[in-house]
A and B are shown apart, each in its own frame.
Chain A
Amino acid sequence: MMSNNPTLRISSVSKHFETGKGRVTAVDNVSLDIKQGEFISIIGPSGCGKSTLMNMIGGLITEYDGKVLLEGKQVRGCQPDIGMVFQEESTFPWRTAIENVAFPLEAAGVPKDKRLARAHELLDLVGLTGFENHFPSELSGGMRQRIAIARTLAFQPRILLMDEPFAALDEQTRLLLGDKVVQIQQQLEQTTLLITHNIAEAVQLSDRVLIMTFRPGRIKRVVDINLPRPRSSEMMGSEKFSSYVAEIWADLRTEASKGLKESEAAAAH
């Protein structure tokens, strides 16, 4: 059940980088309120500052203008209430699946029996029961990413940030993993912020989709997705789903074109 008060408030956030070619504004004056239990996707062309915004919310970038407030308190650096799932392979190859999931609890000093019991529950949640003692190298990319999600959920974060978590996966695994994420999010009523390039994925998973402009990254438009829940990849063939995808692409196309032109110009030099 969603409450009306924002759990996470992003207030006039901007980030500039000094580069050899001068000052670059990666994120410009972004504001956003996210309610408890809400699933929001941010979509935009490459280089629009999506990951920078994610890193600011997650506390990995601490020097920026504006404020990020969690339950009214300003976020200063990483904290257990905000969990992050990354695009890149992030499981620890020297730990088994269950040891990976139990990692944050081990770091927090939770006794072994309790952390293993919790890790078992989470592996069950992400559908990896039976793979507890497998090392990441013995598992597929989709399974490894599910371990990363389970590991992030071990701390029961209030906010789950996911930075293109399915980018390295094939389309079929991506769709099935999307179903899994929807199921987990509904089960835990997990407030989630997803960064993605994939319009269909954003529509499938989200309550709202934020479209960002190409550099400097601003919020161009917010699209409310009024599709019934529970959702799954099966609804991707529906007319309403397709109309959302077309609507988002219409806005995104202009921004993606700008990004493409700039990268071509950079390549020409």
Chain B
Amino acid sequence: MLAIFFRPPPIIARMVFFTLLFGAWEIASRAGLFSRFIAPPPSEIIPAIGLLYSDNELLIRLLRTFGEVFAAAGLGALGGMMIGWWLHRNKDAGEAFTDWFAALAAAPLVLLFPLFLVLFGRNASTIIAMGAVSVLPPVILKTKEGLDHVPQVIINVGKTFGLTRWQEIRMIMLPACLPTVFTGLRLGLIFALINVVGVEYLIGFGGMGLMIAELGDRFEIAGMYAAILFVVLCSAFFFWFTARLESWLLQAR
């Protein structure tokens, strides 16, 4: 009934939700409903973000993780768009392999980290390679989907105006498929962040993932949760940033 008279703006609704969530967590933790060692109250986690900055070189680790994420996303996006284009152009290949890439998108690729460790060693190359592999499936699938669904009628319009093949690609195919391709790129960037942090954690190398592992190993549980919270906030920022970028690019096409 309340909703009929009062519809809160989304930002207020979100703030109320998180306040209630963290409030309940705080009360439950302080009341001893679950161990403070397993899940410390938010009042201990949030100040720990400041300690991450002063004691754990947060900025340097963050830059390292972001560098790996962008390298992985760039490589994966380039490779994914090329493969997606090939699957669109070559109908036989499209029929043969598209389902495989769809299955690959749902596979826990992070479990392949021992293989990548053998191939590349315990360094940033392994992290970037694994991140790039995770970017491939969404970018491939969305690039192919975007290109497959460009309406034939607008391609025919281009033909009637005598467009060259390159003009057809640049002036019709790319702008027409951009919204769908961008969905793949956004997913790819998020997958890259998840996998980069995950592999950093697993192989004990790099930026934020390594920091989470180190804090866990030292039993600094509040700091570990603070680092995890920080990565979640970064992920949310990534999502917002790519949405803004997409909106800007779609207007500029």
Interface residues of A (CB under 8 A from B): 58-60, 78-80, 82-84, 86, 88-90, 92, 94, 103-104, 106-108, 151-152, 155
The answer to whether A107 and B167 touch across the interface, beta carbons within 8 angstroms, is: yes
The 7 A-B pairs at the shortest CB distance, nearest first, are namely: A104-B161, A88-B153, A84-B160, A78-B159, A90-B153, A94-B175, A78-B160
Q: Identify which of A59, A89, A108 contacts B160 (C-beta below 8 A).
A: A59
Interface string of B162-173 (1 = CB under 8 A from A): 110001000110
The answer to whether B156 and A60 touch across the interface, beta carbons within 8 angstroms, is: yes
Count of residues in B whose CB is under 8 Å from the partner chain: 19
Can you list 12 A-B contacts (CB < 8 A)?
A: A60-B160, A78-B161, A83-B160, A86-B156, A86-B157, A89-B151, A90-B153, A90-B156, A92-B175, A94-B178, A104-B161, A155-B161
Q: Identify which of A88, A92, A152, A155 contacts B172 (C-beta below 8 A).
A: A92
Determine the distance from Cα of A111 to Cα of B238 in the docked complex, in whole angstroms: 40
Determine the distance from Cα of A84 to Cα of B175 in the docked complex, in whole angstroms: 22
The answer to whether B176 and A94 touch across the interface, beta carbons within 8 angstroms, is: yes
Residues in B neighbouring A80, C-beta threshold 8 A: 161-162
Residue of B nearest to A100 (CB): B157
Known: A94-B176, A107-B167, A107-B171. Contact between A60 and B253, CB under 8 A? no
Determine the distance from Cα of A86 to Cα of B154 in the docked complex, in whole angstroms: 9
CB distance from A20 to the nearest CB of B (A): 18
The answer to whether B160 and A92 touch across the interface, beta carbons within 8 angstroms, is: no
Determine the distance from Cα of A241 to Cα of B176 in the docked complex, in whole angstroms: 44
CB distance from B146 to the nearest CB of A (A): 13
Q: Taking the complex as formed, is B250 at the interface, i.e. its CB lies under 8 A from any CB of chain A? A: yes
CB distance from A183 to the nearest CB of B (A): 23
Interface residues of B (CB under 8 A from A): 151, 153-154, 156-163, 167, 171-172, 175-176, 178, 250, 253
Residues in A neighbouring B250, C-beta threshold 8 A: 94
Residue of B nearest to A104 (CB): B161
CB distance from B253 to the nearest CB of A (A): 5
Residues in A neighbouring B151, C-beta threshold 8 A: 88-90
Determine the distance from Cα of A33 to Cα of B41 in the docked complex, in whole angstroms: 86
Residues in A neighbouring B159, C-beta threshold 8 A: 59-60, 78
CB distance from A102 to the nearest CB of B (A): 12
Residues in A neighbouring B153, C-beta threshold 8 A: 86, 88-90
Determine the distance from Cα of A106 to Cα of B172 in the docked complex, in whole angstroms: 13
The answer to whether A107 and B161 touch across the interface, beta carbons within 8 angstroms, is: yes
Residue of A nearest to B151 (CB): A88
Most B Cβ at <10 Å: residue of A59, A80, A83, A86: A86
Determine the distance from Cα of A82 to Cα of B176 in the docked complex, in whole angstroms: 25
Known: A107-B167, A107-B171. Contact between A92 and B161, CB under 8 A? no
The answer to whether A90 and B154 touch across the interface, beta carbons within 8 angstroms, is: yes
A80-B162, A89-B151, A107-B171 known, 5 other contacts, Cβ within 8 Å: A79-B162, A80-B161, A94-B176, A94-B250, A107-B158
CB distance from A137 to the nearest CB of B (A): 12
The answer to whether B160 and A82 touch across the interface, beta carbons within 8 angstroms, is: yes
Determine the distance from Cα of A148 to Cα of B16 in the docked complex, in whole angstroms: 50
CB distance from A61 to the nearest CB of B (A): 11
Determine the distance from Cα of A86 to Cα of B157 in the docked complex, in whole angstroms: 8
Residues in B neighbouring A104, C-beta threshold 8 A: 161
